[in-house]
């Protein structure tokens, strides 16, 4: 089953796991790797910690929904 068509569940991360790589759409050619999927207290949606490949000190946290939205991120080949 595709990671884009999975149903959400409490323990479901839509198939997103550490080590998967994505690139930003419409930006410079930078590839981001998933470090971990986190659930923060008080937050309904899980978040993903990303690290830029080749610049390990460059990181960010985005919602899992944003990572799955193809307008923002695409899976890296």
Rounded to an integer, the average pLDDT of 52-74 is 92
In a domain, 61, yes or no: yes
Q: Is residue 71 part of a domain?
A: yes
Backbone angles phi, psi at 26, to 5 degrees: 75, 10
Sign of the Cα pseudo-torsion (65, 20, 28, 4, in order):
negative
- Please identify which residue in the block is written with the tokens 């930006």: 27
Q: Which two tokens stand for residue 6?
A: 């999975």
Mean pLDDT of the chain: 84
pLDDT band at 6 (very low <50, low <70, confident <90, very high): very low
pLDDT at position 60, please?
Answer: 94
User: How many structural domains is the chain composed of?
Assistant: 1
Q: Is residue 7 part of a domain?
A: no
Range of the domain at 59: 21-75
Q: Is residue 16 part of a domain?
A: no
Please tell me the predicted confidence (pLDDT) of residue 4: 46
Segment 17-34 shows an average pLDDT of 89
Exposure string of 37-71, with b = 16+ CB inside 10 Å and e = fewer, is beeeeeeeebbbebbeeeeeeeeeebebeebbeee
């Amino acid at each position: 089953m595709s990671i884009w068509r999975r149903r959400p569940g409490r323990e479901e991360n839509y198939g997103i796991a550490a080590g998967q790589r994505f690139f930003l759409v419409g930006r410079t050619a930078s590839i981001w790797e998933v470090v971990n999927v986190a659930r923060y207290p008080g937050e309904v949606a899980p978040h993903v910690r990303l690290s830029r490949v080749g610049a390990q000190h460059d990181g960010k946290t985005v919602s899992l929904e944003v990572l799955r939205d193809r307008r923002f991120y695409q899976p890296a080949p």
